[in-house]
Chains A and B, each alone.
Chain A
Amino acid sequence: MYWFVLSKSHRRQNIFILVASYLFYGLWDYRFLSLIALSTTIDYFVGLRLAKSNDKKHRKFLLSISLIGNLSILGFFKYYNFFVESLAYSFGTMGIRISDFTMDIILPVGISFYTLQTLSYTIDIYRDKIKPTEDFIAFSAFVSFFPQLVAGPIERASNLLPQFLQPREFNYKYAVKGMEMILWGLFMKVVIADSLDATQAYIFFTSKNPTLLSQLVNLPLSTTWLYCDFAGYSLIARGTARLLGFELMRNFAFPFFATSVSDFWKRWHISLTSWLMDYVFRPYLKITSSKNKAVYGLFLVFILCGLWHGARLTFLLWGGLTAIFYIIDRFVQKSIGKHFKPQHWITSIALSVMLWFSTQAFFMLSGYLFRSPSLERMAVLLKSMTNVGTISTIDWKINTIPLIAVFFFFGFEYLHRKRNFGFDLSQNIPRVARWGLYLLISFMIVSYLGQTINFVYFQF
């Protein structure tokens, strides 16, 4: 219908996308559609007014409407209970008891994603980087675009909005790549992430006394699980968007091949980290004159990154720890660059392997804070590490096939690490071989379609 009936007018296609997006979101909870509509309306009108105004003060006022409006909605739904509980706790430590004002608030799915997306629109207009659109339908479709509405990538108006404003044509090769993205995304989610889900959840949430060895084995497995779950969704979103003629930004760029922490964060959840760099870190550097402003800026960015994931102390600490790792890594990398120039290819390889290992180890270790549901649980896990033991058969039971799938997956990722995504097959591969691979992966996906496990980033 999209390509056959509505192909003559991109405006009709936009209406179709808008209706589909609102339906998609409304099927989860129609009440929260009003929040998307409210954000859309505020930013649409703020954007138009910003373009018309030359008065600095007035422009700042308009931008603050957008910022306060969007961040208040996000703050209320995501952080209200956290702040009330923290306040009550702080007063409690001083001996003052205040009554509990917490509320039973449901977190609207995708609110953290579309809020940042729509904020980028007004901020970019304020900075005169883009011009506002007068097409309300196109703008609404941009904010609520269903492939990436609930778990990103967090798009920029400068990239996605112009695509809604121009006619789109179906392109065979483009659509085939989209299908490959969907296939690979499903493989990552269904075959790998879902197979590893029970084990990592058992260690992090249920197991009473997981041994050190079980926990060590769980580190790379749970990281692979997180990556495949989230990056899998991003790929499915990109592939679906491609089938509709849109190009979404890349959200992951083979982070497990990064050899420094800074490189890692340029490859992991790119849409969020680049958003924080563009709209928090760089503006912060501009307004601060402190000698250590880059260090403070990094702390600010990663603590906000932690808080963006949720109102939890472990996320906050995770942000702080990541910033520390980031700074240590920068220092080490600089020192190595200054004082150590490998003369032999073996030392060069050894150095790369060492840097790669330390980068991945940093991320996996900080992941402990990220995954632990509470500090108390984190303490239990750390305490049980004194129990060296063996890999308990109860703690760690995975079938051979998912493990083979993990190797198969990383093999493909490595082979295609210079390309767009892990299954970005070359057109030089004969069609029979490509179709054989499509069939193989489809079989694996279907064979593991058992239980319904939500994407982990839906909760953020």
Chain B
Amino acid sequence: MRRFLFHSILFASLFFGVSALIHMAKPFYFENAMFREKINEIPTECPSCNTFFIGSSLTFRHVNPMLFDSLVNSSSGHPISESYNLGSVQVNFLESMYLAEHSMEEKIVPAKSTLFLELRPHTIKDSIFTAKNTFYRDIHDLDLVASHHQNLFDKARVIYSSNAQYLFKYINGGILSTLNKNYVIEQLKQYGIRGFLPYTVSSKSRNKKISIAYDDIDEYNPEHTSIVVKQLKHIQEIAKKHQIRLIYLVPNLFLDESSDWKTHLIHPLQKDSSLQIIDMGQPHRYPRIFSPYQYHDKVHLHEDGANLYTQLLVDAYLEL
């Protein structure tokens, strides 16, 4: 019995020791190769950037920082903007929140900057990506991290599990990363400007009609609303602490205004004066960016569409 106990304690010590080493060695964005690439580029490409965009490929492919800056800077009454697109492929809502929170805490987004953070519904499809998420594995993990009243064990479990994942995510992201992902990163390195790489448009594809994907609104679970609201306010608090202007950006999601997500989350949030939201997912308000001729595929705009999107985004931003 004593031998068994001794070996159990030895094994537990070894296990926690290795975990601690991993925890000390890893950066927060360890599994996101594209985010890592962009962060490495910021000091050389845009050392004095003061506007950042964090989100999925809908941000990465749609927000043109150079155009954004030229339009903002040509208007009067706004501080000079120098922006950088930190959007990355295959990032879902939970990961965007995670990346934004830690980018502010680790001063990748410096004080007195503006941060646009993509806001999307968390759907069952996102749960399929569970193993991909670094910190917030599940929507309820947001609650665990944001709430001060949850039991310590649950919190430790969430944080710890993210640490232990490092080993495997590193293998996954480094050695076994999909060829496509690596290809996009290579393309970004060659042709990207300030983290932005649009889908190029040729004279042939310019007139091509694409059927846009209607976002599956039935899959939004209204039960998650309170958790999401709590997390949005939590991130807002962090932004306030670091003197960062935080703007939530709903991308060009083809959503009905009466959808659960809009009704339960976005509309009430728009009435909340403590949060700033720009909603680009309004086909009736922005019909031009929902034109099937502006798209490269079912969800992504091509270069022309992206420039149009950026223009409309600037208009909405200046109106805030």
Interface residues of chain A, those whose CB is within 8 Å of chain B, are 3-4, 170, 172, 175-176, 179, 194-195, 198-199, 202, 206, 394, 397-402, 404, 435, 438-439, 442-444, 446-451
B160: which A residues are within 8 A, CB to CB? 446
Interface size on B, residues (CB 8 A): 36
A448: which B residues are within 8 A, CB to CB? 131, 161
Which A-chain residue is minimally distant from B158 (CB atoms)? Answer: A450
Structural contact, A400 and B164, CB atoms closer than 8 A: no
Complex CA gap A202/B216 in Å reads 13
Interface residue stretch chosen among B66-74, B97-105, B121-129: B121-129
Complex CA gap A198/B132 in Å reads 13
Main secondary structure of the interface of A (DSSP, over half): helix
A3, A172, A198, A435 pick with most chain B CB within 10 angstroms: A198
Also in contact, A450 and B141, with CB within 8 A (given A435-B11, A443-B164)? yes
| Additional A-B contacts beyond A198-B130, A438-B11, A450-B158 (11; CB < 8 A) | A3-B1, A195-B131, A202-B124, A400-B172, A439-B14, A443-B19, A447-B161, A450-B138, A450-B141, A450-B161, A451-B137
Structural contact, B172 and A401, CB atoms closer than 8 A: yes
- Min Cβ gap A354→B in Å is 33
Also in contact, A170 and B161, with CB within 8 A (given A202-B128, A451-B140)? no
- Min Cβ gap B93→A in Å is 15
- Min Cβ gap A160→B in Å is 23
Structural contact, B164 and A447, CB atoms closer than 8 A: yes
- Check: B284 CB closer than 8 A to any chain A CB: no
- Min Cβ gap B80→A in Å is 41
Structural contact, B164 and A399, CB atoms closer than 8 A: no
Complex CA gap A439/B22 in Å reads 14
- Min Cβ gap A23→B in Å is 19
Which B-chain residue is minimally distant from A396 (CB atoms)? Answer: B128
Structural contact, B168 and A447, CB atoms closer than 8 A: yes
- Check: B59 CB closer than 8 A to any chain A CB: no
- Min Cβ gap A391→B in Å is 13
B178: which A residues are within 8 A, CB to CB? 400
Complex CA gap A399/B169 in Å reads 10
Instruction: Enumerate 10 A-B pairs (CB-CB under 8 Å) in ascending A order.
Output: A4-B1, A170-B4, A198-B128, A398-B131, A401-B168, A401-B171, A439-B18, A442-B15, A446-B19, A451-B130
- Check: B157 CB closer than 8 A to any chain A CB: yes
Structural contact, B130 and A447, CB atoms closer than 8 A: no
A442: which B residues are within 8 A, CB to CB? 15
- Check: B237 CB closer than 8 A to any chain A CB: no
- Check: B9 CB closer than 8 A to any chain A CB: no
Which B-chain residue is minimally distant from A175 (CB atoms)? Answer: B4
Complex CA gap A179/B160 in Å reads 22
Also in contact, A443 and B168, with CB within 8 A (given A176-B4, A438-B11, A449-B161)? yes
B149: which A residues are within 8 A, CB to CB? none
Structural contact, B167 and A443, CB atoms closer than 8 A: yes
- B131 interface neighbour in A4, A170, A206, A402, Cβ under 8 Å: A402
B11: which A residues are within 8 A, CB to CB? 435, 438-439
Complex CA gap A399/B138 in Å reads 15
- Check: B219 CB closer than 8 A to any chain A CB: yes
- Check: B3 CB closer than 8 A to any chain A CB: yes
- A206 interface neighbour in B8, B124, B130, Cβ under 8 Å: B124
Which B-chain residue is minimally distant from A399 (CB atoms)? Answer: B131
A4: which B residues are within 8 A, CB to CB? 1
- Min Cβ gap B89→A in Å is 13
Structural contact, A397 and B140, CB atoms closer than 8 A: no
- Check: B176 CB closer than 8 A to any chain A CB: yes
**5 shortest interchain CB distances as A-B pairs:** A450-B137, A451-B138, A447-B165, A399-B131, A446-B164
Complex CA gap A176/B8 in Å reads 10
- Min Cβ gap B166→A in Å is 8
- Min Cβ gap B39→A in Å is 23
Complex CA gap A172/B18 in Å reads 26
Also in contact, A397 and B129, with CB within 8 A (given A438-B11, A451-B137)? yes
B169: which A residues are within 8 A, CB to CB? 401
- Min Cβ gap A400→B in Å is 5
Also in contact, A199 and B141, with CB within 8 A (given A175-B4, A206-B219, A447-B164)? no
B15: which A residues are within 8 A, CB to CB? 439, 442-443
- Min Cβ gap A20→B in Å is 19
Complex CA gap A202/B127 in Å reads 10
Which B-chain residue is minimally distant from A4 (CB atoms)? Answer: B1
B165: which A residues are within 8 A, CB to CB? 447
B14: which A residues are within 8 A, CB to CB? 435, 439
Also in contact, A397 and B128, with CB within 8 A (given A172-B4, A176-B4, A450-B138)? yes
Complex CA gap A404/B171 in Å reads 11
A443: which B residues are within 8 A, CB to CB? 15, 18-19, 164, 167-168
Structural contact, A450 and B130, CB atoms closer than 8 A: yes
B130: which A residues are within 8 A, CB to CB? 194-195, 198, 450-451
B157: which A residues are within 8 A, CB to CB? 449
Complex CA gap A399/B130 in Å reads 8
Which A-chain residue is minimally distant from B125 (CB atoms)? Answer: A394
B3: which A residues are within 8 A, CB to CB? 172
Complex CA gap A45/B138 in Å reads 50
